[in-house]
Amino acid sequence: MRRLDVLCLGEPMLEFNQLPPDENGRALYLEGHGGDTSNAAIAAARAGARAGYVSAIGRDAPGRSFLALWAAEGGGCQHGGPARGCADGHLFRDAWRAGA
């Protein structure tokens, strides 16, 4: 087991950021990863710290995408993994609007 400089505990969020409507007025969304504690662990790892993250995530596509993200960013879930009965957090944003 490696020693960590930073250990974050929290809930990652799968974000859907609203884009300007298309020519038919339909709302379009860009999927991304977020959550303040997940972002903090990734930022620490990018800055050279040995970072870890503790959370419960679902056994679904969003959960797998977070595991892949953390592995790619050098942080990680060395222990544990997706949990039965857990739902991933989702967040919808419409910040494209003027003044948002």
In angstroms, the CA 68 to CA 37 distance is: 17
Q: What's the predicted TM-score (pTM) here? A: 0.78
Q: Would you list the DSSP string of 11-49?
A: --EEEEEEEPP-TT---EEEEEEE-HHHHHHHHHHHTT-
Per-residue pLDDT of the chain (100 residues; tens, 9 = 90+): 578 898 999 889 999 998 888 999 898 999 999 999 999 999 999 999 988 888 888 888 888 898 889 888 876 555 456 666 667 778 788 765 655 5
> What is the structure's pLDDT at 90?
80
The pLDDT of residue 81 is: 60
